[in-house]
Structure 1
Amino acid sequence: MANQNKIEQWFESRKSRKKDLKANHLWKGVCSGDRFELSKAITLIESANHQDRVEASKLLKKCISSKKSSWRIGITGVPGVGKSTFIESFGKIILEKGLKLAVLAIDPSSSISGGSILGDKTRMDWLSNQENVFIRPTPSGLNLGGVAKHTRESILLCEAAGYDVILIETVGVGQSETLVHSMVDFFLLLMLAGAGDDLQGIKRGIMEMADALVITKADGENLTKAKLARTQYASALHLFPPKENEWIVPALVTSSIENNGLEEVWKNISDFFTKYQAEGCIQLNRSRQELLIMNQHVSELWFSKMENDKKYKVELERLTQLVISGKLNGYMAAEELAKSLIANPS
């Protein structure tokens, strides 16, 4: 009898969970600013379950129709630069302005186990306990750019929940990290002073994308080095081609421990949004980003469809063997495969 009751309780909890993950139910909670419901909504869009994907699609359509917006700010930097510490201190500045803050912190995942640390909440101890703050650590998995697959959708949900500023913290700097630039309005690059080579191996392309360059940990004995680094970076930035929107990228110094320079960072960001929202540049940039997403997703859907197609698998195997044997190179095989798919669509 006891076991029967446990089974019935389990079924009831499953029914309750399914109800909780319905788009209409979650939408009410998200719109009311309920952080627990927002967390469940993000869990829903991250799910690979077919039924969950259906509900997630309904929920995202509601987000788009709500027409709410925010300041979307990407934060990246070399490992050890203190991204989470910077966000903890910078978040206080944002809250003092009477704004609500969401932080989507992308944690590194192991390429072997797929596990991630998910420790950002512990590194942002004060911020995570504030009523007007929502922090969501999400494992990056193996996705290009170190940005979790559904971060874009999480941004929409946070906007619908009424968050004014959304910070997206990435796992670090590298060629793949530039993906964060395709989903934000303002791109903040954090750097260290006195960490070996002045440019620290930072790719030229990443520096060109930055809307502000901030040298962190400018305190104590490191203050002089930080100021020197700012001068060097400012000179380097002048060598880059001007931005399309003619924004002049500042090089700034900050200390999260001493709370120095953070107001200046906020002023630059505020000036950026004030200027370019009025000129329509922010909306134009977002439209371009959405078109990029559309093209990327079409490619993903097409490839996913082909992977399950028998004709495709047979032809791919045939061409694979020709490449291995040296009778075709990779480009020739790809072109032949494309011609075959066009001539014999499923």
Structure 2
Amino acid sequence: MKQSTTFEPPPISEATASLEAGVLAGKRRALAKAITLIENTRADRRAEANGLVSRILPHTGKAIRVGISGVPGVGKSTFIEALGLFLVKTGLKVAVLAVDPSSRISGGSILGDKVRMEYLARETNAFIRPSPSAGTLGGVARRTRESMLLCEAAGYDVILIETVGVGQSEIAVSEMVDFFLVLLLPNAGDEIQGIKKGIIEMADGLVVHKADSGNEDQATQAQRHYRNAVNLVRAKRKDWRAPVLRASSTEGHGIDKVWDMVSRHRRLLCERNQLESMRSAQMQRWFQTALEEELLDRFHEDPRIRERLADLQARMRARRLSPHHAAEHLVDLFLS
């Protein structure tokens, strides 16, 4: 039989269609349930989730997407709450996708961001969704992209994505946002050595956080150090060199300047017609990631692979078979 050259997403159930209607109407409960659906790993639920995301895609793309990263203890949640409250007061709707690190031992995560952002959580125009990273590299949950699109379809103007922390693999978050912001500690010294060159290169803006009263000198010195560091690395864009600002979330200083920086960057992208081309490139990278994940899922779900895997692992432990040889055997089996 000749296969059709066109492809349409499979139809979704009435329950999922109801979720779609609720998301498009801006209902937070429907949005929360829709994100729960796309985070489900069951094969039948994945099909429903993929159908839902395909259907809401035409209603996405208008929000400002901001990724926020920083070393543990820099105050990401405190900063995001302060920024979120500032944006809500200006009349914007804000969604926060906060990724909690999952334990490699138990697989569990704390998921306590609604507790840490208690004031923002009370705002009717704010939505906070913690999700486990589940070991995903890049400090983002596996379905963060889909969650972001659902929030956009629900009418949120700004999407803030909080990542686990700073690391070489964390540049993954910069491939799904319009603006990648890195928070820094005010005591520059050895801390500057802990920030990877790759993170500095990928940052669209840097903020020396916790620049509180009594900390001004340290924060100013740190700002100077980081500005020098930015000047020593290749700029992410020819027409934009990452600014280095100071801010204090507890005292409310500098939050407006941070948003002004993000807004200026957004205007620049739009004026030069670069936003859509950037998002198109991000969609292609998303497709590549999704393709790899789908292949791995199907590989591990294959009963022949599961049946053979234990024997091969035993042989490797006994030093009778190399990992590459075992992998080659499983791939041949999968493709047969």
Partner of 1:244: 237
Provide closer, same or farther for how the CA distance between residues 311 and 221 of structure 1 changes in structure 2, counting only shifts above 3 A. Answer: closer
* Residues 312 and 326, structure 2, Cα contact 8 Å, conserved in 1: no
Question: Which shows bigger deviation, 91-100 or 160-169?
Answer: 91-100
Question: Is 1:81 equivalent to 2:74 in the alignment?
Answer: yes
Among 222, 244, 252, the alignment partner of 1:259 is 252
* Residues 105 and 136, structure 1, Cα contact 8 Å, conserved in 2: yes
Partner of 2:225: 232
- Structure 1 residues 105-125: Cα deviation after superposition (integer angstroms, max 9, x where no partner): 111222222221111111111
Among 123, 130, 133, the alignment partner of 1:137 is 130
Provide closer, same or farther for how the CA distance between residues 35 and 216 of structure 1 changes in structure 2, counting only shifts above 3 A. Answer: same
- Matched position secondary structure for 1:238: helix
Question: Is 1:310 equivalent to 2:290 in the alignment?
Answer: no
Question: Which shows bigger deviation, 290-299 or 191-200?
Answer: 191-200
- Structure 1 residues 276-324: Cα deviation after superposition (integer angstroms, max 9, x where no partner): 0232222212211221122222222223333326379759966995897
Q: Name structure 2 gaps, 5 residues minimum.
A: 1-11
Task: Output the amino acid matched with 1:139.
Answer: P
Displacement of 1:186 = 0.5
Question: Which shows bigger deviation, 253-262 or 285-294?
Answer: 285-294
- Structure 1 residues 95-142: Cα deviation after superposition (integer angstroms, max 9, x where no partner): 232111000011122222222111111111111101110011111112
Among 154, 157, 162, the alignment partner of 1:161 is 154
Partner of 1:33: 26
Q: Name structure 1 gaps, 5 residues minimum.
A: 1-18
TM-score, normalised to structure 1's length? 0.85
Displacement of 1:29 = 0.9
- Structure 1 residues 198-240: Cα deviation after superposition (integer angstroms, max 9, x where no partner): 4141111011100001001111221110001001100110111
Displacement of 1:21 = 7.8
Partner of 2:210: 217
Task: Output the amino acid matched with 1:191.
Answer: L
Provide closer, same or farther for how the CA distance between residues 157 and 246 of structure 1 changes in structure 2, counting only shifts above 3 A. Answer: same
* Residues 147 and 170, structure 1, Cα contact 8 Å, conserved in 2: yes
* Root mean square deviation of aligned Cα: 2.7
Map residues 89-128 of structure 1 onto 2, 5 A cutoff.
89-128=82-121
Question: Which shows bigger deviation, 301-310 or 84-93?
Answer: 301-310
TM-score, normalised to structure 2's length? 0.87
Partner of 2:198: 205
Question: Is 1:298 equivalent to 2:287 in the alignment?
Answer: no
In structure 2, what is the Cα distance between the partners aligned to 1:21 and 1:78?
A: 44
Provide closer, same or farther for how the CA distance between residues 21 and 71 of structure 1 changes in structure 2, counting only shifts above 3 A. Answer: farther
* Residues 69 and 182, structure 2, Cα contact 8 Å, conserved in 1: yes
- Matched position secondary structure for 1:197: helix
In structure 2, what is the Cα distance between the partners aligned to 1:196 and 1:160?
A: 44
Displacement of 1:341 = 3.3
Question: Is 1:45 equivalent to 2:38 in the alignment?
Answer: yes
Question: Which shows bigger deviation, 20-29 or 77-86?
Answer: 20-29
* Residues 181 and 205, structure 2, Cα contact 8 Å, conserved in 1: yes
Identity of paired residues, percent? Answer: 45
* Residues 101 and 165, structure 1, Cα contact 8 Å, conserved in 2: yes
Provide closer, same or farther for how the CA distance between residues 341 and 32 of structure 1 changes in structure 2, counting only shifts above 3 A. Answer: same
* Residues 215 and 226, structure 1, Cα contact 8 Å, conserved in 2: yes
- Matched position secondary structure for 1:304: helix
Task: Output the amino acid matched with 1:61.
Answer: S
Partner of 1:181: 174
- Structure 1 residues 10-46: Cα deviation after superposition (integer angstroms, max 9, x where no partner): xxxxxxxxx9982210111111111111101111111
- Matched position secondary structure for 1:290: helix
* Residues 21 and 41, structure 1, Cα contact 8 Å, conserved in 2: no
In structure 2, what is the Cα distance between the partners aligned to 1:186 and 1:268?
A: 10
Partner of 2:332: 341
Provide closer, same or farther for how the CA distance between residues 36 and 314 of structure 1 changes in structure 2, counting only shifts above 3 A. Answer: closer
